[in-house]
Amino acid sequence: MTLTTHTLGYPRIGAQRELKKAVEAYWAEKITLQELEATGQELRARHWQEQKEAGLDFVSVGDFAFYDQVLNLSLILGVIPPRFNTCPDQADLDTYFRMARGRAPSGEPAAACEMTKWFDTNYHYLVPEFQPQQEFTLNAQLLLAEVKEAQTLGHQAKVTLVGPLSYLWLGKAQGEFSSLDLLPQLLPVYAALLQKLADEGVDWVQIDEPILALDLPTAWKQAFETAYNQLQAVAVKKLLAVYFGGLQDNLGLAVNLPVEGLHLDLVRAPEELEQVLDRLPAYKVLSAGVIDGRNIWRSDLVRLREQLASAQGRLGDRLWLAPSCSLLHVPHDLEQEDQLDSELTSWLAFARQKLDEVTLLAAALTGQLNQQREAAWAENQQALVSREASTRIHRPEVSERLAAIDPAMYARTSAYEQRALAQKEWLKLPLFPTTTIGSFPQTPEIRKARRGYKQGELGTERYQELMKQEIAYCVEQQEKLGIDVPVHGEAERNDMVEYFGEQLDGYAFTRFGWVQSYGSRCVKPPVIFGDVSRPQAMTVEWSRYAQSLTDKPMKGMLTGPLTCLQWAFVRDDQPRETTCKQIALALRDEVRDLEAAGIRVIQIDEPAFREGLPLRKADWAAYLRWAVDSFRLTAAVVEDATQIHTHMCYSEFNDIIEAIAELDADVITIETSRSNMELLDAFEAFEYPNEIGPGVYDIHSPNIPEVEWMVELMQKAAQKIPAERLWVNPDCGLKTRRWEEVTPALAALVEAARQLRKAY
Ligand code: GLN
Ligand code: ZN
């Protein structure tokens, strides 16, 4: 009895972020193209070796990318927007980088392609742009060369590709047509690509169609049959991979497509296993994605063995084992973490360890646990027992507090109209009040001080003194500029989530837990491993100090519970809702302490509020319920006269406007400068009742916005929202900008507000 093991993909950035460093060095022209390519080749070889050593039957080829795997496919298929002025067959790595980021060491700069989130992950892909008469041409040399590379190293290569329908779905039609219209042109080229792989001796191609886990329009569902019937002609075995959710209404369709295998995400949708087993045609293999590719916890292998026992009985060697999705979304190797305690480490598994879990589980299922694996199996069980029983995780006072939440805790004392009166009385703000979103430039001096402090070279006192100087400077600048509601500037924060996580109990931080976010950018999400609580106030002293420097109302600044949750690896032993409410309670105490310290304007940032939305519409309401409740639990502890702000930096509110209104923040600031205030339509149509600050200064651009332009934007806003409820502010925080840009931009913003006051 055998079980085939594989992975849908592997992290490519390198355990030490070698790829990041190499591409950035190449962009800065510090290394040559040959050197960059050599790094890529070395990393691929190393990662394949790791897969082989773990005992997988295949190595994954095609998951490597110098920037993004979707962009790879765009180049393979010749989908290059005309502004890059490159014939598809002449596209090289510099074309690729120009598409990704607007410029490269060679070639004329042009506007980069749009980037957006890959399903519900924090990975961003480059959106394919389709022209009305889009042609597809095959340009597969690089991929074929990688296949050769793997084969030469003696590996069995399984190639992974984004499927034709997911590719079209993820792209954007540039004109009045649907990208689905392009399927007839795309399919022959896609088939030719498969044929080339077959010619190269590739046995299996994994075709990723994650859109089968979404709510699909009928036309798209139907297109699946057309497409795969046509691809059937190519004599290469196809594994159709679906992940990030269950198949649900697409189950019958997916099970019956004419391909040789189907991969399911049994972490997200374990309940579908039985149904699929009942309906899977006898010629197909089923790849069971049972090791969580989206989180960092060690799997419960005993439970998985039980879960899979009947599948194995029914399928025999047609059962394959794999992680639920590509391991791109987890850090590379736990073994590097030398500063986590051994107990916590024993609860975790990163990409490399997850490969071991796949093969260990396979060995257990086939009765092939040798001595070494017996030991690993026992260790797995011990770790789970230790985690379940750990007093570091379960804190009775936290669960008791959660259980004792009284519905009244979710609501402010009075309705907005009444609160607004109480707030006006002391705030005495002019019409079109000005404020910022929180952070000011993180200067090299600030970064240097923080580094010194973290490395122990700078004492706490000295560090705090330096940060106070920064705060004082920042407040002084805002006074000079005439900002109505100043902030302290967040100099002391490296990152809006990490800053709070470091001060809360229940959080841990890795040293090398990098996950690719886009291109060469990686994030290192904190790990929420236990019940969250707040040992002491986190921001009060800084805000109190800032307030002591000005007579203006100082705005306190917090990261909200949804964002803390969304941008972390979250424990899997309780619902996300529970963890979120624990964070909310901890932040609620911070809000209360800020108020008691005289900070009576408090902003609770929720840039990740929308990101938490489930992939299926049917699941939205449940999420929005606890998401809104968590925010309200944080905020609704203050008196009427204390003004709660929130901030969200994205541009789609239409479908969640009701929930946004339910947050009941007194003021919401949003990103609008690039959308010409169209974003406010949702607020207008809904008759959104509270105050809004539609950002008028695009902080992503180094350009200084002009007074007239901002006045005009605000006039547009005032046609949609009554002027009495409008604020004037930038789009987002200013931490990535320089003071030389920020000062004149804010001066112009304040001047725009002055002119508006005269006009209204
Ligand atoms: N207060 C944060 C800042 O100003 C908000 C950042 C964000 O919304 N992403 O940087
Ligand atoms: Zn923002």
Ligand 1: distance of its center to the CA of 593 in Å? Answer: 21
Residue 50 corresponds to which tokens in the numbers above?
A: 């790791």
Confidence of residue 395 (pLDDT cuts 50, 70, 90): very high
Length of the chain: 760
Residue 497 Cβ inside 6 Å of ligand 1? The answer reads no
pLDDT at 720 over 80: yes
**Residues 276-292, buried b or exposed e (16+ Cβ, 10 A)?**
bbeebeeebbbbbbbbb
Return the pLDDT at 677.
87
The alpha carbon of 662 is separated from its chain's Cα centroid by a whole number of angstroms, namely 24
First and final CA of the chain: distance in angstroms?
Answer: 80
Whether the Cβ atoms of residue 432 and residue 724 lie closer than 8 Å to each other: no
Confidence of residue 679 (pLDDT cuts 50, 70, 90): confident
700 has catalytic annotation: yes
- 520: Cβ–Cβ under 8 A, 6 or more apart, which residues? 19, 20, 23, 24, 67
Tell the residue nearest (CA) to atom 3 of ligand 1: 733
**Mean residue pLDDT across the chain:** 97
Minimum-distance ligand 1 atom for the alpha carbon of 607: 8
Show binding-site residues for Zn(2+). Answer: 647, 649, 671, 732
| Residues 438, 442, 443, 446, CA torsion sign | positive
Return the pLDDT at 491.
98
Q: Which numbered ligand comes closest to the C-alpha of 560?
A: 1
Tell the residue nearest (CA) to atom 6 of ligand 1: 733
- 448: Cβ–Cβ under 8 A, 6 or more apart, which residues? none
Minimum-distance ligand 1 atom for the alpha carbon of 439: 4
For residue 731, give the amino acid letter: D
Residue 557 Cβ inside 6 Å of ligand 1? The answer reads yes
- 115: Cβ–Cβ under 8 A, 6 or more apart, which residues? 124, 125, 126, 127, 518
In three-state secondary structure terms, 143 is helix
| Mean pLDDT of the 176-181 span | 97
Residue 243: other Cβ atoms inside 10 A: 26
- Decide the pairing of beta strands 527-533 and 505-508: antiparallel
Residue 695 Cβ inside 6 Å of ligand 1? The answer reads no
Q: What is the pLDDT of residues 280-311, one digit of tens each?
A: 999 999 999 999 999 999 999 999 999 999 99
Show binding-site residues for L-homocysteine. Answer: 437-439, 490, 605
Return the pLDDT at 566.
97
Phi-psi region of 51 (alpha: psi -120 to 50; beta: other; left: phi over 0): alpha
Confidence of residue 665 (pLDDT cuts 50, 70, 90): very high
Residue 176 corresponds to which tokens in the numbers above?
A: 């009045």
User: How far is the C-alpha of 401 from the C-alpha of 390, rounded, in Å?
Assistant: 19
Q: What is the 3-state secondary structure (H, E, C) of 503-567?
A: CCEEEECCCCCCEEEECCEEECCCEEEEEEECCCCCCHHHHHHHHHCCCCCCEEEEECHHHHHHC
Confidence of residue 712 (pLDDT cuts 50, 70, 90): very high
Q: Which numbered ligand comes closest to the C-alpha of 605?
A: 1
Ligand 1: distance of its center to the CA of 438 in Å? Answer: 6
pLDDT at 34 over 90: yes
pLDDT at 652 over 90: no
pLDDT at 673 over 80: no
Return the pLDDT at 1.
77
For residue 240, the 8-state DSSP code is E
Residue 665 Cβ inside 6 Å of ligand 1? The answer reads no
Tell the residue nearest (CA) to atom 5 of ligand 1: 733
Q: What is the pLDDT of residues 209-234, one digit of tens each?
A: 999 999 999 999 999 999 999 999 99
Return the pLDDT at 701.
86
| Mean pLDDT of the 554-582 span | 98
- Decide the pairing of beta strands 115-117 and 124-126: antiparallel
| Mean pLDDT of the 539-564 span | 98
pLDDT at 650 over 90: no
Residue 330 Cβ inside 6 Å of ligand 1? The answer reads no
Contacts 24+ apart (CB under 8 A), 588-593: 588/409, 588/633, 588/634, 588/635, 588/637, 589/534, 589/537, 590/534, 590/537, 590/538, 590/539, 590/540, 590/558, 591/558, 591/634, 591/635, 591/637, 591/638, 592/637, 592/638, 593/537, 593/540
Sheet holding 285-291, edge to edge: 4-5, 319-323, 285-291, 261-265, 237-241, 204-208, 157-162, 59-61
User: How far is the C-alpha of 699 from the C-alpha of 696, rounded, in Å?
Assistant: 9
Residue 539 Cβ inside 6 Å of ligand 1? The answer reads no
Q: Return the residue matching tokens 């392009």.
A: 182
Q: What is the pLDDT of residues 454-502, one digit of tens each?
A: 999 999 999 999 999 999 999 999 999 999 999 999 999 999 999 999 9
pLDDT at 525 over 90: yes
User: How far is the C-alpha of 26 from the C-alpha of 105, rounded, in Å?
Assistant: 8
Q: What is the pLDDT of residues 422-437, one digit of tens each?
A: 999 999 999 999 999 9
Q: What is the pLDDT of residues 569-618, one digit of tens each?
A: 999 999 999 999 999 999 999 999 999 999 999 999 999 999 999 999 99
Q: What is the pLDDT of residues 379-388, one digit of tens each?
A: 999 999 999 9
pLDDT at 417 over 90: yes
- Widest Cα–Cα separation across the chain: 82
Q: What is the 3-state secondary structure (H, E, C) of 149-180?
A: HHHHCCCCEEEEEECHHHHHHHCEECCCCCHH
Residue 560 Cβ inside 6 Å of ligand 1? The answer reads no
Ligand 2: distance of its center to the CA of 636 in Å? Answer: 22
Show binding-site residues. Answer: 17-20, 117, 122, 437-439, 490, 521-522, 567, 605, 611, 647, 649, 671, 732
Please state the pTM of the whole predicted model.
0.95
Ligand 1: distance of its center to the CA of 486 in Å? Answer: 14
Tell the residue nearest (CA) to atom 8 of ligand 1: 607
- Decide the pairing of beta strands 157-162 and 643-648: unpaired
Please report which helix (H) or strand (E) contains residue 314, including its range.
helix 301-315
Q: Which one is predicted more confidently, 256 or 90?
A: 256
Residue 735 Cβ inside 6 Å of ligand 1? The answer reads yes
Please report which helix (H) or strand (E) contains residue 279, including its range.
helix 272-279
| Mean pLDDT of the 367-390 span | 95
User: How far is the C-alpha of 680 from the C-alpha of 718, rounded, in Å?
Assistant: 10
